[in-house]
Amino acid sequence: MPFDKFNVICYNDIITEKKKIIKNMSITNKFRVNKSSKICRNDIARELSATYEMSYKNAYDIVNTTFDFIKEELAMGSVVELRRFGTFYFKERAERQALNIITGERVNVPRHTIIDFRPCNSLKEKIERIKA
Protein backbone atom coordinates (compact mmCIF):
# COMPACT_ATOMS: atom_id res chain seq x y z
CA MET A 1 0.00 0.00 0.00
CA PRO A 2 1.55 3.36 -0.95
CA PHE A 3 2.22 5.86 1.78
CA ASP A 4 0.04 8.94 1.76
CA LYS A 5 -1.22 11.37 4.37
CA PHE A 6 -4.53 9.52 4.67
CA ASN A 7 -2.88 6.28 5.83
CA VAL A 8 -1.35 7.99 8.85
CA ILE A 9 -2.89 7.09 12.19
CA CYS A 10 -1.33 9.81 14.29
CA TYR A 11 0.83 12.88 13.72
CA ASN A 12 3.13 11.77 16.57
CA ASP A 13 3.81 8.51 14.72
CA ILE A 14 5.03 10.51 11.71
CA ILE A 15 7.29 12.68 13.86
CA THR A 16 8.72 9.63 15.66
CA GLU A 17 9.38 7.85 12.36
CA LYS A 18 10.97 10.96 10.83
CA LYS A 19 13.26 11.29 13.87
CA LYS A 20 14.36 7.67 13.47
CA ILE A 21 15.00 8.18 9.76
CA ILE A 22 17.02 11.35 10.28
CA LYS A 23 18.99 9.87 13.19
CA ASN A 24 19.86 6.65 11.37
CA MET A 25 20.31 7.90 7.80
CA SER A 26 23.79 7.11 6.61
CA ILE A 27 25.34 9.49 4.14
CA THR A 28 27.07 7.42 1.50
CA ASN A 29 29.89 8.40 -0.84
CA LYS A 30 27.41 9.38 -3.56
CA PHE A 31 26.41 12.33 -1.36
CA ARG A 32 29.98 13.63 -0.96
CA VAL A 33 29.95 17.40 -1.20
CA ASN A 34 31.91 19.00 -4.00
CA LYS A 35 31.17 21.82 -6.40
CA SER A 36 29.51 19.60 -9.01
CA SER A 37 27.41 17.39 -6.72
CA LYS A 38 23.72 17.82 -6.12
CA ILE A 39 21.07 15.70 -4.47
CA CYS A 40 17.53 15.30 -5.76
CA ARG A 41 14.41 13.58 -4.44
CA ASN A 42 15.36 10.35 -6.19
CA ASP A 43 18.68 10.20 -4.33
CA ILE A 44 16.98 10.73 -0.97
CA ALA A 45 14.35 8.09 -1.79
CA ARG A 46 17.05 5.60 -2.87
CA GLU A 47 18.99 6.13 0.37
CA LEU A 48 15.82 5.82 2.45
CA SER A 49 14.83 2.67 0.58
CA ALA A 50 18.23 1.05 1.09
CA THR A 51 18.58 2.07 4.74
CA TYR A 52 15.13 0.89 5.84
CA GLU A 53 14.68 -2.01 3.42
CA MET A 54 11.46 -0.65 1.95
CA SER A 55 10.39 -0.40 -1.65
CA TYR A 56 11.66 2.55 -3.65
CA LYS A 57 8.04 3.54 -4.42
CA ASN A 58 7.15 3.80 -0.71
CA ALA A 59 10.33 5.73 0.03
CA TYR A 60 9.66 8.12 -2.86
CA ASP A 61 6.08 8.64 -1.61
CA ILE A 62 7.41 9.49 1.88
CA VAL A 63 9.89 12.00 0.45
CA ASN A 64 7.22 13.60 -1.76
CA THR A 65 4.71 13.79 1.09
CA THR A 66 7.30 15.45 3.32
CA PHE A 67 8.25 18.05 0.69
CA ASP A 68 4.57 18.65 -0.18
CA PHE A 69 3.83 19.30 3.49
CA ILE A 70 6.72 21.81 3.70
CA LYS A 71 5.52 23.56 0.51
CA GLU A 72 1.93 23.79 1.82
CA GLU A 73 3.09 25.27 5.12
CA LEU A 74 5.26 27.86 3.35
CA ALA A 75 2.39 28.73 1.00
CA MET A 76 0.23 29.47 4.08
CA GLY A 77 2.91 31.83 5.39
CA SER A 78 4.28 29.56 8.14
CA VAL A 79 7.91 29.45 9.19
CA VAL A 80 9.16 25.87 8.80
CA GLU A 81 11.78 24.77 11.33
CA LEU A 82 13.45 21.41 10.87
CA ARG A 83 15.41 20.67 14.02
CA ARG A 84 19.08 19.80 13.49
CA PHE A 85 18.80 21.06 9.88
CA GLY A 86 17.57 24.64 9.62
CA THR A 87 14.68 27.06 9.20
CA PHE A 88 12.82 28.28 6.12
CA TYR A 89 11.46 31.78 6.73
CA PHE A 90 10.22 34.84 4.87
CA LYS A 91 12.39 37.87 4.24
CA GLU A 92 11.33 41.28 2.92
CA ARG A 93 13.41 42.75 0.12
CA ALA A 94 13.35 46.53 -0.09
CA GLU A 95 12.56 48.41 -3.27
CA ARG A 96 15.72 49.04 -5.27
CA GLN A 97 17.16 50.10 -8.61
CA ALA A 98 18.64 47.45 -10.90
CA LEU A 99 20.41 47.62 -14.22
CA ASN A 100 19.04 45.89 -17.31
CA ILE A 101 22.27 44.47 -18.73
CA ILE A 102 20.85 44.22 -22.27
CA THR A 103 19.57 47.78 -22.66
CA GLY A 104 21.71 49.44 -19.99
CA GLU A 105 18.74 51.30 -18.51
CA ARG A 106 17.82 51.49 -14.82
CA VAL A 107 14.80 49.44 -13.75
CA ASN A 108 12.82 49.81 -10.54
CA VAL A 109 12.48 46.48 -8.65
CA PRO A 110 9.49 46.71 -6.29
CA ARG A 111 9.52 45.58 -2.66
CA HIS A 112 8.85 41.83 -2.43
CA THR A 113 9.01 38.83 -0.11
CA ILE A 114 11.32 35.85 -0.62
CA ILE A 115 11.79 32.54 1.17
CA ASP A 116 15.18 32.25 2.81
CA PHE A 117 16.96 29.42 4.64
CA ARG A 118 19.00 29.65 7.82
CA PRO A 119 20.99 26.47 8.65
CA CYS A 120 21.28 25.33 12.26
CA ASN A 121 24.61 25.72 14.05
CA SER A 122 25.58 22.04 13.76
CA LEU A 123 24.98 22.14 9.99
CA LYS A 124 27.04 25.33 9.69
CA GLU A 125 29.89 23.64 11.56
CA LYS A 126 29.75 20.55 9.32
CA ILE A 127 29.84 22.73 6.21
CA GLU A 128 32.80 24.69 7.56
CA ARG A 129 34.68 21.42 8.27
CA ILE A 130 34.00 20.22 4.72
CA LYS A 131 35.20 23.51 3.22
CA ALA A 132 38.39 23.50 5.30
Q: Considering only CA atoms, which of 23, 1, 26, 5 is closest in space to residue 14?
A: 5
Q: Are 118 and 108 in contact (CB under 8 A)?
A: no
Model confidence at 10: pLDDT above 50: no
- pLDDT for residue 19: 55
Indicate whether 69 and 96 sit together in one domain.
Answer: no
Confidence of residue 86 (pLDDT cuts 50, 70, 90): very high
| Selected residue with higher pLDDT from 125 and 20 | 125
Q: Considering only CA atoms, which of 16, 72, 64 is closest in space to residue 42?
A: 64
Q: Please compute the mean of the pLDDT values over residues 6-35 and round it to a whole number.
A: 50
Indicate whether 49 and 64 sit together in one domain.
Answer: yes
Q: Please compute the mean of the pLDDT values over residues 34-59 and round it to a whole number.
A: 86
Buried-state track 41-74, b at ≥16 Cβ within 10 A, e below 16: eeebbbbbbeeeeeeeebbbbbbebbeeeeeeee
33, 52, 77 - which closes a domain? 77
Indicate whether 100 and 70 sit together in one domain.
Answer: no
| DSSP secondary structure string for all residues of 2-37 | ---TTS-S-HHHHHHHHHHHHHHPPP-GGG---TT-
* Residue 96: CB atoms within 10 Å: 10
Indicate whether 23 and 73 sit together in one domain.
Answer: yes
- The domain total for the chain is 2
Look up the domain containing 116 and give its range.
79-132
Indicate whether 124 and 83 sit together in one domain.
Answer: yes
- pLDDT for residue 33: 44
Model confidence at 24: pLDDT above 60: no
Q: Are 4 and 65 in contact (CB under 8 A)?
A: yes
SS3 70: helix
Q: Considering only CA atoms, which of 60, 109, 115 is closest in space to residue 86?
A: 115
Indicate whether 65 and 12 sit together in one domain.
Answer: yes
- pLDDT for residue 131: 84
34, 55, 77 - which closes a domain? 77
Indicate whether 55 and 109 sit together in one domain.
Answer: no
Confidence of residue 8 (pLDDT cuts 50, 70, 90): very low
The angle subtended at Cα 117 by Cα 111 and Cα 121, nearest 5°, is 140
Indicate whether 51 and 87 sit together in one domain.
Answer: no
